[in-house]
C-alpha cells in the first residue's frame, strides 16, 4: 500500500478536521448547480456532530433491521429508504417482505432520530464546503452496512475495492459516513482509506465519528477488509440535483 498516514485516530476526539484537495474534472460531465456543485473539494472528520450515545441508538436500529436478514458473505446492507435488505445472496424489500410486522421492529422515534442525524450531517457538510444546506438533497443509495470477516459469496460482498462514488453513483456530489462501532474494540481491519498519489490517508472508525468528502475522483477510496468482529456504519449521500433527491424514510 505504500506510505500510510492516519488522518483520524480512533482514540482521539476530533472537534473538526478538514483538508482541502484539488477538485477532479468528474463534475464537468454532469449538470452543474451553482452554489452547490463542488468548486472547493476535500475531506473532513468530526466527532462533534453526533454523540456516542446517539450512535449507539442508531446502531440498534441497524441491528434490529439486519437481524431480519443478512448476507451470506461479509457485507450486509439495510436501506430504510428503498427497503432493500441483504438476505442470503440476494436482496428483499423489507417493507413488502415483512409487511405490518415492521411496526414491531422500528418506532417513530427511530425514524425521527435518523432524520435528525441526517440533517446535522447535511448542515456540517454545507458549512465545511461553504454552500447552503438547502441546496443539498439526500440521494440514493443511503444505507446501513454491517461488515464481518465472513468470506464474500457474491460481488455485492466485495466491499474492499478502490472506487470513486461519483463514478459508481452519478448522483453523488457529497458523501458521508457515520461510524457506529469502534476500531480495535469492536472489530479489527475495516479502516477507511483515501488513496492518494504517494501515500494513503486512513480514518479509524469510532462510534459517533462522521467523515465526509466530495464524491469525485479527488477522493478515490476503499475500506480495508475486516479481520475480526463486526463493523457498523451508515453511508449518507447528497446530491445537488433535485431530480435525484429522495425523502427521509417513513415508517410504513
Asked if the model's pLDDT at residue 236 lies above 90, the reply is yes
Q: What contacts 228, CB < 8 A, 6 or more positions away?
A: 149, 187, 188, 189
Instruction: Output DSSP code: residue 245.
Output: B
d(CA 58, CA 51): 11
Known catalytic residues?
A: 231
Residue 157 pLDDT: 86
Residue 154 pLDDT: 86
- Set out the domains of the chain in order of their start, with CATH numbers: 4-243 (2.60.120.620)
Query: What pLDDT digit, counting tens, does each position of 26-76 carry?
Result: 999 999 999 999 999 999 999 999 999 999 999 999 999 999 999 998 899
Average pLDDT of the chain, as a whole number: 95
CB count within 10 Å of CB 154 equals 14
Q: Which residues of 175-196 are buried (b: 16+ CB within 10 A; e: fewer)?
A: bbbbbbbbbeebbbbbbbbbbb
pTM of the model: 0.96
Residue 2 pLDDT: 59
First and final CA of the chain: distance in angstroms?
A: 46
Query: What pLDDT digit, counting tens, does each position of 144-174 carry?
Result: 999 999 999 988 788 999 999 999 999 999 9
Residue 96 burial by CB count (10 A; 0-12/13-18/19+): exposed, middle or buried? exposed
Contacts 24+ apart (CB under 8 A), 60-69: 61/106, 61/110, 61/113, 61/114, 61/144, 62/144, 62/146, 62/180, 62/232, 62/234, 63/232, 64/105, 64/106, 65/94, 65/105, 65/106, 65/144, 66/144, 66/146, 68/94, 68/98, 68/105, 69/94
The stretch 115-128 carries a mean pLDDT of 98
CB count within 10 Å of CB 198 equals 7
Q: Backbone phi, then psi, for 118, in 5-degree steps?
A: -55, -45
Quickly state the pLDDT bin for 225 (edges 50, 70, 90): very high
CB 235 within 8 A of CB 175: yes
CB count within 10 Å of CB 227 equals 11
Percentage of the chain lying above the pLDDT 70 cut: 99
The stretch 80-87 carries a mean pLDDT of 95
> Is the peptide bond preceding residue 168 cis, with omega within 30 degrees of 0?
no
d(CA 99, CA 251): 11
Residue 134 burial by CB count (10 A; 0-12/13-18/19+): exposed, middle or buried? exposed
Residue 4 pLDDT: 86
Query: What pLDDT digit, counting tens, does each position of 89-111 carry?
Result: 999 999 999 888 899 999 999 99
Residue 198 pLDDT: 84
The stretch 218-240 carries a mean pLDDT of 97
Residue 26 pLDDT: 95
Percentage of the chain lying above the pLDDT 90 cut: 90
Q: Backbone phi, then psi, for 52, in 5-degree steps?
A: -60, -40
Amino acid at each position: 500500500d505504500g506510505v500510510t498516514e492516519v488522518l483520524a485516530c480512533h482514540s482521539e476526539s476530533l472537534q473538526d478536521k478538514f483538508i482541502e484537495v484539488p477538485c477532479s474534472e468528474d463534475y464537468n460531465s454532469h449538470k452543474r448547480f451553482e452554489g452547490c456543485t463542488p468548486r472547493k473539494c476535500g475531506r473532513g472528520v468530526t466527532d462533534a456532530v453526533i454523540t456516542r450515545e446517539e450512535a449507539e441508538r442508531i446502531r440498534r436500529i441497524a441491528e434490529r433491521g439486519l437481524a431480519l436478514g443478512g448476507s451470506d458473505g461479509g457485507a450486509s446492507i439495510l436501506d430504510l429508504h428503498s427497503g432493500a435488505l441483504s438476505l442470503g445472496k440476494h436482496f428483499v424489500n423489507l417493507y413488502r417482505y415483512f409487511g405490518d410486522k415492521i411496526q414491531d421492529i422500528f418506532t417513530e422515534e427511530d425514524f425521527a432520530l435518523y432524520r435528525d442525524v441526517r440533517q446535522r450531517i447535511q448542515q456540517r457538510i454545507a458549512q465545511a464546503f461553504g454552500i447552503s444546506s438547502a441546496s443539498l438533497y439526500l440521494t440514493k443509495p443511503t444505507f446501513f452496512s454491517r461488515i464481518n470477516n465472513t468470506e464474500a459469496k457474491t460481488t455485492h460482498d466485495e466491499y474492499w475495492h478502490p472506487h470513486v462514488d461519483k463514478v459508481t453513483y452519478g448522483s453523488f456530489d457529497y458523501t458521508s459516513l457515520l461510524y457506529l462501532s469502534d476500531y480495535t474494540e469492536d472489530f479489527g481491519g475495516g479502516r477507511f482509506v483515501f488513496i492518494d498519489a504517494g501515500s494513503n490517508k486512513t480514518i479509524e472508525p469510532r462510534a459517533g465519528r462522521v467523515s465526509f468528502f466530495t464524491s469525485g475522483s479527488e477522493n478515490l477510496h476503499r475500506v480495508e477488509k475486516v479481520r475480526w468482529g463486526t463493523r457498523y456504519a451508515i453511508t449518507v449521500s447528497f446530491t445537488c440535483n433535485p431530480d435525484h433527491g429522495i425523502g427521509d424514510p417513513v415508517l410504513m
